[in-house]
Structure 1
Amino acid sequence: AGLATAGAKEEDVPSRRREPRRKGSLVVYDDQPFWNLPQNVAQRMAAQEASASASAIPVSSDNIGGELTTTLKMEESQNKRERRNSLAMLRGQLEATQIYEPPTFALLNQDTDVPPPVVRDRLVVEDFPKHTISTAWIKMVKQGLSEWLRLPVIVCRGTEDGPVVGITAAVHGNELNGVPCIHRVISEIDVNKLHGTVVAVPCVNVSGYLKFTREFADGRDLNRLFPGREDGFASQVYCYQLMNKVISQFNYLIDLHTASFGRVNSYYVRADMNDPISAIMARLQTPQVVLHNSGQDGTLRSAASARGIRAITVEIGNPQLFQNQYVQWSYIGVMRILDHLDMYTLTYQPTAEDMAALGPPNTILCSKGFWIYTKTGGVLEVYPGVNTIIKKGDLIARIKNIFGNVVDEYYAPCSGIVIGRSSNPVAMSGDRIVHLGVIKKKNESLPKEAKENY
């Protein structure tokens, strides 16, 4: 038995501790200078070094028997110092610039008593109980598993009948700032004080949302196909069902969007400013820019307006992320619209001094807007930021080839404000550079037909 134990491999004895085969990569050696360490770490190490030197046991030439013990103690002290210094360096590298403070609402509201959504063939506001917030799945189209592709809907009915305001988000599946905006609006509303109904659709393009893409399942842009067709291709059928099963119930529509992939936006509103009600809705958002736009053919806003529904489009920043400042501005704007329609009284009325914190201080009205496109491909550099005033003739972009040589430059064709811009440095011929808004002059009349070069 003894021979068997002696001949066993070291790895076969689980209780035995193996020596490390190499030094740890975080060890700080004694000859490493302090200048490349954080100052607080260097000071601690210097103090520890002085303390260790003062407490070291001196070696006596007369104490031959104790020399080995003294040497071992010094080596142990050196090893401890190395471990201590390595941990000090790591801690110094990982020191945070600020301490995280959890949100005050954490763990206070788990929403465990919310009833499950009901399933409906179409939205009928009167079918939902008053002074209640209800959730529902609306059957839209059959998908590849012969199951219904369903639309999430939130219905807030007040104590009295009144207007129906619809709020839609994520018509493009990767434009998500509208989702938390809707969540904040719904959490703010007390249905016992609501006159009328708020219907929120937090995700219109369910297929694109699940795939993190702008387009619908068939690769087409829903917001170019409204009001759709009952006998068309998949995207057209989906638009048709949305218009007839949901949107037709609205009196007012607030359609929430963001920039698309590879672009960034200011916080701005598209609206027909020749329509008094739409103009008021747009200004109540207190955006950075209001762009007069009578409605592009195929957009949800245009299709809703054709049915007599007052509609605006709110562009809330950038795609596939949440931007809290923009979300807060849009949420306040929606609540101000409800307040203006006498549907809901704001518990807090902001003063003029508060508006700088609650929204952009000045809204710029643009009589029209258009995109500037590239004429060649390459590495794109765009210089002005969003919400920036530029003058005619200003250099706004350059394109370089892959070797770094400038092959094209772009200048502002007129003065205006940068509503949006490209953020993607890889450009092909015909890609977007800058979305330029032409600022309305003091005595200028707005055109009846104002469309953009999408």
Structure 2
Amino acid sequence: MQNNPFVLLGEIIPEGKRTVLDLEVAKLHTRTTVKVPLIIERSKNPGPVVLLMAGIHGDEINGVGIVREIINQKLNKPKNGTIICLPVFNIFGYLIQTREFPDGRDLNRVFPGSSKGSLASQFAHQFIQEVAPLVDYVIDFHTGGDQRDNVPQIRCNKDDDKGLELAKIFNPPVIMYSNNIVKSLRETLHKMGKTVLLFEGGKTKELDPTVINEGVNGTKNVLIHLGLIEGEITVRETPVYVKKSKWLRAMHSGMLKVMVKNGSFVEKKDVLGIIQDPFGEFKKRVYAPHNGYVFCINKTPIVNKGDALFHVSIEE
């Protein structure tokens, strides 16, 4: 809950005003300073502080598109409390469309960071020290890595009651039980007592209108529920709960032809895809080993033996 005065990055954030601050990361070898903009909208009324962030992996553009559209629709202007938008967290990776930081590290595996560690670790430390303590709720937007295309989903720990409640309010197509990963942002914020929703939707290096729409509508639901903005919560569908799941891997190398729609329910022995060689000499079918929902598909056209192809829920 915001306090008076509300101080972020050494600046007093005035009530009823839009403020843009820069989180300074480092300088390029050209001595150009790299800055990460934070867009803060603080109302005149007390309320929770919500952080909407994307781009912790620089090539995950759908999340950036979601935060951009939230700003475009002025959903980040609260009647109560404060909304902070951080559209591009890993600005280095975003500039060159890569997942990692320039030091080769995954920013989402170095939290809470260190003031004397690697560049990624120092940036994580700065964020945890200067921004994270001021927020109450965080929605962190991601996509599937590489060509792995995720059905829009919220991931949260099965023991996180507050997170699960907000996940239901978000109302995504899929709610997936997912343990916190060691040294991830989600784990670190959870230890700090913050309520975190991790959104996954689509794949890297794309702007998918369906995914963006799901992210915007879900976030709007959460902001209404928390009392930051006015409106009615929209329930579009009953989410599929994925409590257990399994990746189906390629038993052969070849060209992958996907035969199933992402998000659909399949039954045991249904054909999910066909792996073929480029010479037309063999076809190997990929069968569903059990009943379940397909909620992530590897859209790469050429696969190697052992590659993850379909992420399928295990129905009890």
**TM range, normalised to the smaller chain?**
0.7 to 0.9
Query: Structure 1: 5+ residue runs without aligned partners?
Result: 1-121, 442-454
Of residues 281, 305, 314 in structure 1, which corresponds to 2:166? 281
Residue equivalent to 1:196: 81
Q: Pairwise mapping of residues 12-161 of structure 1 onto structure 2 (< 5 A)? A: 123-124=8-9, 127-161=12-46
Aligned residues: 309
- The answer to whether the Cα contact below 8 Å between 1:169 and 1:255 also exists between their aligned partners in 2 is yes
Of residues 165, 176, 198 in structure 2, which corresponds to 1:291? 176
TM value normalised by structure 1: 0.63
Instruction: Give the drift of 1:409.
Output: 4.2
Of residues 85, 95, 102 in structure 2, which corresponds to 1:217? 102
Instruction: Quote the Cα distance in structure 2 between the aligned partners of 1:438 and 1:247.
Output: 35
Query: Structure 2: 5+ residue runs without aligned partners?
Result: 1-6
Structure whose residues are more often strand by fraction: 2
Q: Pairwise mapping of residues 340-419 of structure 1 onto structure 2 (< 5 A)? A: 340-346=225-231, 349=232, 355=235, 359=236, 361-406=237-282, 408-419=284-295
Instruction: Give the drift of 1:380.
Output: 2.3
TM value normalised by structure 2: 0.88
- The answer to whether the Cα contact below 8 Å between 1:124 and 1:249 also exists between their aligned partners in 2 is no
Deviation by residue 1:218-238 (Cα, 9 ceiling, x = unmatched): 333222332233333333333
Instruction: Quote the Cα distance in structure 2 between the aligned partners of 1:416 and 1:136.
Output: 46
Greater Rg, structure 1 or structure 2?
A: 1
Instruction: Give the drift of 1:403.
Output: 2.2
Instruction: Give the drift of 1:159.
Output: 0.7
- The answer to whether the Cα contact below 8 Å between 1:285 and 1:329 also exists between their aligned partners in 2 is no
Structure 2 vs 1, CA of residues 237 and 388 (structure 1 numbering), >3 Å: closer, same or farther?
same
Question: How large is the RMSD of aligned CA atoms in angstroms?
Answer: 2.4
Instruction: Give the drift of 1:375.
Output: 4.2
Deviation by residue 1:370-389 (Cα, 9 ceiling, x = unmatched): 32223443222332221011
Identity rate, percent: 27
Instruction: Quote the Cα distance in structure 2 between the aligned partners of 1:336 and 1:430.
Output: 40
Q: Pairwise mapping of residues 177-188 of structure 1 onto structure 2 (< 5 A)? A: 177-186=62-71, 187-188=73-74
SS in 1 for 2:220: helix
Of residues 134, 144, 147 in structure 2, which corresponds to 1:259? 144
SS in 1 for 2:115: coil
Residue equivalent to 2:127: 242
- The answer to whether the Cα contact below 8 Å between 1:416 and 1:437 also exists between their aligned partners in 2 is yes
Structure whose residues are more often helix by fraction: 1
Instruction: Give the drift of 1:341.
Output: 1.4
Structure 2 vs 1, CA of residues 155 and 405 (structure 1 numbering), >3 Å: closer, same or farther?
same
SS in 1 for 2:25: strand
Structure 2 vs 1, CA of residues 133 and 265 (structure 1 numbering), >3 Å: closer, same or farther?
same
2:205 is the counterpart of 1:205: no
Give the number of the structure with larger relative contact order, counting CA–CA contacts within 8 Å between residues 6 or more apart: 2
